[in-house]
A and B are shown apart, each in its own frame.
Chain A
Amino acid sequence: MRIKWVECAALSVMAALSVMTGGGSWFLALALGVTLLKCLLIPTYHSTDFEVHRNWLAITHSLPISQWYYEATSEWTLDYPPFFAWFEYALSHVAKYFDQEMLNVHNLNYSSSRTLLFQRFSVIFTDALFVYAVHECCKCVDGKKACKELTEKPKFILSVLLLWNFGLLIVDHIHFQYNGFLFGLMLLSIARLFQKRHMEGAFLFAVLLHFKHIYLYVAPAYGIYLLRSYCFTANKPDGSIRWNSFSFVRLISLGLTVFLVSALSLGPFLALNQLPQVFSRLFPFKRGLCHAYWAPNFWAVYNALDKVLSVIGLQLKLLDPKKIPKASMTSGLVQQFQHTVLPSVTPLVTLICTLIAILPSIFCLWFKPQGPRGFLRCLILCALSSFMFGWHVHEKAILLAILPMSLLSVGKAGDASIFLILSTTGHYSLFPLLFTAPGKKNLFLIGWKLSTSLAWALWKSSVNLYSLSPPGS
């Protein structure tokens, strides 16, 4: 009975909101519409990430802090920064009203219907932050051209692209993760930077880093931008740096913000002398160059090339079969690997490649700052470079590039066409996440076609809209 009360309560809230949309607010209609779609996706396939989060609920609820990063009953150990662990702890206090059993650490693979309902609803509920962030981003988008047609307004297009982002729906509401509110935090910090509220933006990003450290991919963009455009308060007339406008106060305040956030997050573990353990959990370099399902990045091509060359080598009797290592890249397992023909790749090599790839955009951001838009471009390039050359990259990381790119795509036609290609291929690469249940494949195909046609539709409108505008900033 309790489930039904919760269901009814949630649905009543939405019903009330839907009555309010009778007033004609399109943003609320879009947000509610996608929330309803998420409710329909509740009975779909969920991956092992579901068990991962259940396990973390159990760990944070039943064990003291000192045990959180040491607990290893389940294979899915806690490998996110402390803020996320606190978030799971807060959720667990709600979870106990749904099903006490899910909070038992030893109940591996426990997935009663109540557990499922709770977890799914928690993702849907925390997406409220994402909706708020999209609302803020819409304010930053130019609405200069007087468009009477709703579907050609940049704000509308952006809302659709972000709220109905198909990759996020797949990863969060089918595959099961909590990316919604994390991307909400990121978009909110970007929006704050656009609104010249730099301190808030920095604070939000620092918080975000301590929720999920994958956002380190884009930290250089933040660092350089804040240093260049916030700490140096003025530029010379030709746009280059004016060294004497450096403001120590601002630098100190930024540093203090980051330091305080980190202290709040890592402080308890520093006191317990557990920092090395925490870091080893957060950065598991033993995992291998590629994830079990290869993310479509440079190393995937590298591995494929290595494989091809080794096969050719064997055929042409240039290689000795006995010297080839047994472990195969494509076995679907996560482990260390040695390449046969091409030189092996170490984490340091990937770091260097990433840095080289990031360097041009960083230089541009430093020497020729173009305001928030330039920062956004640099952020996207950092995300893409890290995706291309990073160590043990998940294919979900492409979302890190796609979502900010949506913000750019409503600005210029050229960006919109790049966005179309990026989102189509990026979302297509998320296919393997739904590798089981055949019914879901059809759903995925339909949904993918939907999002592609949406993106195409909006690109077409934006092309019409912006064909006359000069290439702006």
Chain B
Amino acid sequence: MEKWYLMTAVVLLGLTVRWTVSLNSYSGAGKPPMFGDYEAQRHWQEITFNLPIKQWYFNSSDNNLQYWGLDYPPLTAYHSLLCAYVAQFINPDWIALHSSRGYESQAHKLFMRATVLIADLLIYIPAVVLHCCCLKEISTKKKIANALCILLYPGLILIDYGHFQIMYNSVSLGLALWGVLGVSCDWDLLGSLAFCLAVNYKQMELYHSLPFFCFLLGKCFKKGLKGKGFVLFVKLAGTVVASFTLCWLPFFTERAQALQVLRRLFPVDRGLFEDKVANIWCSVSVFLKIKDILPHHVQIIVSFCLTLLSLLPACVKLTLQPSPKGFRFTLVSCALSFFLFSFQVHEKSILLVSLPVCLVLSEIPFMSTWFLLVSTFSMLPLLLKDDLLMPSVVTTMAFFIACATSFSIFEKTSEEELRLKSFSVSVRKHLPRFTFLPRIIQHLFIISVITMVLLTLMTVTLDPPQKLPDLFSVLISTELTSANPPLLLRKTGPELTSVPIFLYFICGTPTTAWCAKRCHVRTQDSNWQTPGRQSRTYT
């Protein structure tokens, strides 16, 4: 593309921001005995380097699973092993068995930060650049602006470089993005291979698996089940099986091995939710203590059913009418459904929703920007624990400025541009005066931004009242609720432990609704009219 130098400047700017954020402290810095996610990552390098594969997921005298046991799929373990080889070359003390627990030094911090940056540079950033280059019907300048906004998304930067999340999120998200790119550009086998690698890197990528499945299934149906479609289906199945086998090969020797790994990956014993996450279960538990009412296996069934129900419409639509645009919107919708209704969801899982939202940034800039800002804000309690106030506020503002100037979001809030036209038209059939939807949305946006700022200020400067120690975390999750905070305060009592509320419910339900509506709009895809002619363009 022309203006490659501007794209280079954008990438370098993204790298600069990442590196400056990494100069701050990390999770668990100087906090024995358990330290934090940073220590977990170092510990995995120690385990994978010093112990044979058979012992990686098992409890033994050398491998105490209570102290940051490995609970991600094998590809993470292989990546840790690779990093361990490099660490061994530089300074073996960093990964010496047992004696390196809690090792903290400037050089080691530099090494760990460097591994994240290199992984990012090799996997995530090229995927983002390629995605922006392949966008159709927008000018080069807009493509570059799009890349800038995606690369400046604060959530991923703060978690990977500030907090130092237990896994290199950029790797799994990057691989998933390569999968999206491959599948959208008709390189189905490569795309599905990339996505399988992503799932094998981090099991939470399963949030994205259903849209992939439905889209590829839809493509097979389109080509005809008796001819090329069937061939494609077999090839895809083969690719998936092969990639899984390759990753899990060392663990297939014994049944106990594979089962133990699965047990570590999916800890269903843990319960419906933990900590303060802004999803449905925690919200409902304010009024109705679900954890106490329903027995454990019923909880699992209920959450499974609700998740399935919420994502079914979009997936069915995608299977019947596959298109890259519909695919991206379905990714958003499914990931959000999983986040809201699924089992044992972590705060950081919002990143899995944010990635697809970044992909639709060019199509609904206003809503996407709003969502991405709120998603970063929701991680604030986590970031404040690591003294990351300054970087988080600064990166959020930078992201907002980038989006505001690139997309002129405040000017593009008509019904047509918010993609809510069909929704408002159908409402207007019953309520003819319903013309003020854009204005409502604009006002809501301003209110939510003001609330976010106020809550940040309050959390940082004031101490919460003694009766309500988690007041501010509560309010942060509440910021979009229509219920008044005073009402909430009256309902909550001294036993208040964790009360995240309808943040994403309010944000998420309209999103799900409009995505579903969006998929119902006919996507006239000229590429699909001539079977056999594979066009490598992106719609």
Contact = CB atoms under 8 A, between A and B. Distances in A.
24 contacts: A4-B389, A4-B460, A7-B460, A8-B460, A22-B405, A26-B405, A29-B405, A32-B397, A36-B398, A37-B17, A150-B141, A151-B6, A439-B22, A439-B109, A439-B113, A443-B16, A446-B15, A447-B12, A447-B16, A449-B12, A450-B12, A450-B13, A453-B9, A457-B9
A21 interface: yes
B94 to A, nearest CB: 15
B405 A450 contact: no
Given A22-B408, A36-B398, 17 more contacts: A5-B461, A11-B394, A15-B397, A18-B400, A21-B401, A21-B404, A22-B405, A22-B409, A22-B410, A24-B405, A39-B390, A44-B20, A151-B6, A438-B107, A450-B16, A454-B9, A456-B5
A446 B12 contact: yes
Interface string A434-473: 0001110011001101100110110010000000000000
Contacts of B400: 18
A36 B397 contact: yes
Nearest to A459: B5
**Interface core residue of B16, B110, B401, B410 (most chain A CB under 10 Å):** B401
A4 B461 contact: yes
Interface residues of A, number: 44
B145 to A, nearest CB: 10
B393 interface: yes
Nearest to A25: B405
B3, B5, B109, B397, most chain A CB atoms within 10 A: B397
B357 to A, nearest CB: 19
B129 to A, nearest CB: 14
B8 interface: yes
Contact of A14 (B21, B397, B449): B397
Contacts of B12: 446-447, 449-450, 453
A22 B402 CA distance: 9
Nearest to B22: A439
A151 B9 CA distance: 13
For the complex of A and B, list the 6 residue pairs with the smallest distance between their C-beta atoms, beginning with the closest: A457-B5, A450-B12, A40-B20, A22-B404, A29-B405, A36-B398
Interface string B382-411: 000000011101110110111011001110
A117 B405 CA distance: 30
B24 interface: yes
A252 interface: no
Interface string A282-315: 0000000000000000000000000000000000
Nearest to B12: A450
B19 interface: yes
Nearest to A438: B110
B457 A8 contact: yes
Interface in B1-51: 3, 5-6, 8-9, 12-13, 15-17, 19-24
A43 B5 CA distance: 30
A446 B457 CA distance: 33
B405 A453 contact: no
A149 B110 CA distance: 41
Nearest to A11: B393
Contacts of B408: 22, 24
A156 to B, nearest CB: 12
A2 to B, nearest CB: 10
A453 B5 contact: yes
B394 A33 contact: no
Interface in A384-412: none
Contacts of A11: 390, 393-394, 397
A19 B450 CA distance: 11
A21 B402 CA distance: 9
Contacts of A457: 3, 5-6, 8-9
Contact of B410 (A8, A23, A150): A23
A42 interface: yes
Contacts of A26: 405
B259 to A, nearest CB: 43
A270 interface: no
Contacts of B466: none
